């Protein structure tokens, strides 16, 4: 591997797009708490003074969707009119229909089930498409270092805002980290660090000093910062107008932030607001689960898994493993190994990862993968021993 650099970004929970993801997953969680079999495809839009929640939902329960949206907005920190967007004064509009019966037909009784398949094939994929999972040995979380560091910075921005350590910070913010690698693919240093945060109308040097001392220094290991590391804090200066007042937001628009920071390929499907029959979400979680266990088992240093589905069909139409030349076995052998230890049919994914429960709002910001702060089923390493034993490595 040649010397190279790579950059990833993260955004805070107060970023307009992330506000929308949290509203969408907040609605999903509220419904799943009452009706685990519900079908939910929820989207959200926010702009100055308004939030719109829309989508296709089929459920037997009642959820006060405007109340869920307002609670979410308030929890994020938009609770004062002076922020230009506040839970108590914004309009919340809803436009909800039932799931299309044509889609429901494919999900509820898959092609294979109709053709005599077993009960595990009752649930077909909710759509066609490809999903990717990835893991590598760069960090303890088995995630790429740039996105891991970027998420850590935005989480720290939220912590020091909420704790009052930096009382002038407001909810909107973002980070970006550029990591330089040595010839062996190990982290050498940080080439550049960018942190921008919305703030009260205070002196910009106060903001920059506070973020440098309370956000960057506690999070980025000193061994990765040297005299040549470029650090930019609110590089344009003033960032008072932000959040939905400064820029409209839309759910599903931060799919690279949600996954691997661009380090791995992406099939294009977003996660938030979708129940687990949507393979955009559930199969991406399963692919991460499989890739992480392969890396943790020592069978490769890097692993990317691609799954592809046809709508209404339970079994994936393809499974590809790419270890980028780091595998202890051929990639085709590793794919066969995974097929024996992981069942990638939607019904089995939902069962294995226990996905019909309200666990989604917590991952609607700061990434769906590598979350050592959360107990997520797709981050378990319970297949490591079995994989290692069968591979005989």
- pLDDT, mean of residues 283-300: 98
Helix (H) or strand (E) holding 332: helix 331-341
Residue 184's Cβ-count burial label (10 Å; 0-12, 13-18, 19+) is: exposed
Q: Are 303 and 134 in contact (CB under 8 A)?
A: yes
10-51 pLDDT, tens digit each: 999 999 999 999 999 999 999 999 999 999 999 999 999 999
Global pTM value: 0.95
Dihedral angle over CA of 231, 236, 238, 242, nearest 10: -100
Averaged pLDDT of the chain: 94
How far from each other are the two terminal CA atoms of the chain, in whole angstroms? 24
Residue 114: predicted pLDDT: 58
Residue 115: predicted pLDDT: 60
Residue 224: predicted pLDDT: 96
Residue 3: predicted pLDDT: 77
Residue 185: predicted pLDDT: 87
Question: pLDDT exceeding 90 applies to what percent of the chain?
Answer: 87
215-259 pLDDT, tens digit each: 999 999 999 999 999 999 999 999 999 999 989 999 999 999 999
Residue carrying structure tokens 């592809």: 308
Greater confidence, 105 or 366?
366
- pLDDT, mean of residues 263-280: 96
Query: What is the sign of the dihedral through the CA atoms of 332, 335, 340 and 344?
Result: negative
Could you tell me the pLDDT band of residue 122, with boundaries at 50, 70 and 90?
A: confident
**What gap in Å lies between CA 154 and CA 136, rounded to an integer?**
22
Q: What are phi and psi of 140, to 5 degrees?
A: -60, -30
Could you tell me the pLDDT band of residue 147, with boundaries at 50, 70 and 90?
A: very high
Q: Are 183 and 19 in contact (CB under 8 A)?
A: no
**3-state DSSP call for residue 146?**
helix
Residue 1: predicted pLDDT: 46
């Amino acid at each position: 591997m040649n010397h190279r650099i790579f950059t990833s970004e993260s955004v805070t929970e107060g970023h307009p797009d992330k506000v929308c993801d949290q509203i969408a997953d907040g609605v999903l969680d509220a419904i799943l708490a009452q009706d685990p079999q519900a079908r939910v495809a929820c989207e959200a839009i926010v702009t100055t003074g308004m939030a719109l929640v829309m989508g296709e939902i089929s459920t037997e329960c009642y959820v006060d969707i405007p109340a869920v949206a307002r609670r979410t907005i308030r929890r994020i920190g938009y609770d004062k009119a002076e922020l230009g967007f506040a839970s108590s004064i914004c309009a919340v509009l809803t436009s909800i229909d039932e799931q299309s019966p044509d889609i429901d037909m494919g999900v509820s009784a898959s092609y294979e089930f109709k053709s005599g398949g077993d009960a595990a094939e009752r649930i077909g994929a909710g759509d066609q498409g490809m999903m990717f999972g990835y893991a590598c040995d760069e960090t303890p979380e088995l995630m790429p270092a740039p996105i891991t560091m970027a998420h850590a910075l935005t989480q720290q921005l939220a912590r020091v805002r909420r704790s009052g350590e930096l009382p002038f910070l407001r909810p909107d913010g973002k980070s970006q980290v550029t990591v330089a690698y040595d010839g062996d693919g190990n982290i050498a240093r940080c080439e550049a660090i960018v942190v921008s945060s919305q703030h009260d109308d205070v002196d910009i040097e106060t903001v920059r000093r506070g973020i440098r001392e309370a956000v960057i220094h506690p999070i980025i290991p000193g061994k990765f910062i040297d005299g040549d590391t470029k650090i930019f804090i609110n590089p344009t200066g003033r960032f008072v107008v932000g959040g939905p007042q400064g820029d409209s937001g839309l759910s599903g628009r931060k799919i690279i932030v949600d996954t691997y920071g661009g380090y791995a390929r992406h099939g294009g499907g977003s996660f938030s607001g979708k129940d687990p029959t949507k393979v955009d979400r559930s199969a991406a979680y399963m692919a991460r689960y499989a890739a992480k266990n392969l890396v943790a088992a020592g069978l490769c240093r890097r692993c990317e898994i691609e799954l592809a589905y046809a709508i209404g069909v339970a079994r994936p139409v393809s499974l590809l493993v790419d270890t980028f030349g780091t595998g202890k076995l051929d990639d085709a052998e590793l794919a066969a190994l995974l097929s024996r230890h992981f069942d990638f049919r939607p019904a089995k994914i939902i069962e294995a990862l226990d996905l019909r429960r309200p666990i989604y709002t917590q991952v609607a910001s700061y990434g769906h993968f590598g979350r050592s702060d959360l107990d997520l089923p797709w981050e378990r390493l319970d297949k490591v021993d079995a994989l290692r034993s069968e591979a005989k490595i």
